Amino acid sequence: MVINFAAGPAKLPEEVLKEVQTNLLDCNGSGISVMEMSHRSSNYAKIQETAINDLRELLNVPSNYKILLMQGGGTGQFAAVALNLIGITGTADYVITGSWSSKAAKEAAQYGKVNAVLPKVDRYTSVPRQSTWKLDPKASYVYYCDNETVEGVEFDFVPEIPAGVALVADMSSNFLSRPIDVSKFGVIFAGAQKNIGPAGTTVIIVREDLIGKHMKITPSILNFELMDKNASLLNTPPTFGIYVMGLVFKWIKRNGGVEGMAKLAASKSKLIYETIEQSNGFYYCPLDANVRSRMNVPFRIGSATGNDALEKEFLAKAEAEGMIQLKGHRSVGGIRASLYNAITFTETQKLASLMLNFYKNNKN
């Protein structure tokens, strides 16, 4: 059996994949695959509407928020958020705590003034407390990435921002892994390929009063207002991806909802971090304990800079035991275990067991 610890595209629940397999040639009695289905058909309309309604239920999304399904992934939303919102005042605050928020800030700077509320650092290992932030009360919005997939930094709080300023969160890699109060946000977005479905679909939850604030240069495909008016059907949506995502939402509902996912995430990540901490420095995680991600656990072997030979040996042993895609992101190296919702506790135990045995055999 293969266990996929990839950071994205990531593992999907096995029972969802089996359901997709069963219905691949005949989706919901239509006689055709969902991949052949017209996005204007009543059959597809039911699929998309059900997925959106289930998501609204899972997160208790207030009625004054719209749920849009768009393409372009998180990177597309780096531009879309700025194009739709930065024109309100011409400036935006960006809380840069890792690679993805840094890229988002660079993208937004093409469309308005970007204020980096934190000083630039060489390595992202923490989330400075909000009392140190330099927020602009005239900003159109405050942007942050709730979970930095590369560095493994996850916010342990929701920022408090000035009245009248929208809070925007990239939740691509921890979406539906813990309860959130949607009413605290102006925009939440998440690429599906990490925690809720295959690559190709992006979920956007946007407060109604922020729709229609876009710049004139905003492309139609990134325009929140046009997407809302056309029920996310302005262009052909990624129908297959939305279908699978809808099945994942059903799976989450069957398994305790977002609260159930949060409990599972806490137990899985605790197991791996305890294995690291109990290794007497053999495994090293550079992150402040309070912001260690429950989704992406990066670590090195031997020291803070790692031991290339031991890390290669560890990755080879992992693959021999069916645990794949544990190599760290190319920008930071080392090892990274992504523990998304579809990863089971039993699978996490197998990784912890490998880590323990490898430590015992190589600690000297």
Cα–Cα distance for residue pair 201/53, rounded to 1 Å: 16
Q: Which of 54, 93, 146, 194 is catalytic?
A: 194
Q: What is this structure's pTM?
A: 0.97
Cβ neighbors of 338 (< 8 A, separation 6 or more) are 5, 6, 7, 8, 10, 149, 173, 194, 295, 296, 297, 325
Q: How far apart are the first and last CA of the chain?
A: 31
194 belongs to the catalytic site: yes
Tokens for 187, please give them. Answer: 């925009």
170 is catalytic: yes
**Residue 58: φ, ψ to 5°:** -60, -40
Which of these, 169, 239, 184, 202, lies nearest to 60 by C-alpha position?
184
The SS3 of residue 103 is: helix
Q: Which domains does the chain have, with CATH numbers?
A: 15-255 (3.40.640.10), 256-361 (3.90.1150.10)
Question: What pLDDT, on the 0 to 100 scale, is given for residue 285?
Answer: 95
Q: Which of 159, 160, 119, 113 is nearest to 140 (CA)?
A: 113
- What pLDDT is stored for residue 330 in this prediction? 83
Which residue of the set 170, 213, 268, 327 is catalytic?
Answer: 170
| The predicted structure's pLDDT at residue 220 | 97
Is 251 considered catalytic here?
Answer: no
Please list, residue by residue across 273-285, b when 16 or more beta carbons sit within 10 angstroms of its beta carbon and e when fewer do.
bebbeebeebbbb
Low-confidence ranges of the chain (pLDDT < 70): none
Tokens of 161: 């921002």
pLDDT at position 55 is: 98
* Gyration radius of the chain over CA positions: 21
What pLDDT digit, counting tens, does each position of 33-86 carry? Answer: 999 999 999 999 999 999 999 999 999 999 999 999 999 999 999 999 999 999
pLDDT at 290: 97
pLDDT confidence of residue 1? 86
Question: Which of 100, 213, 251, 268 is flagged as catalytic?
Answer: 100
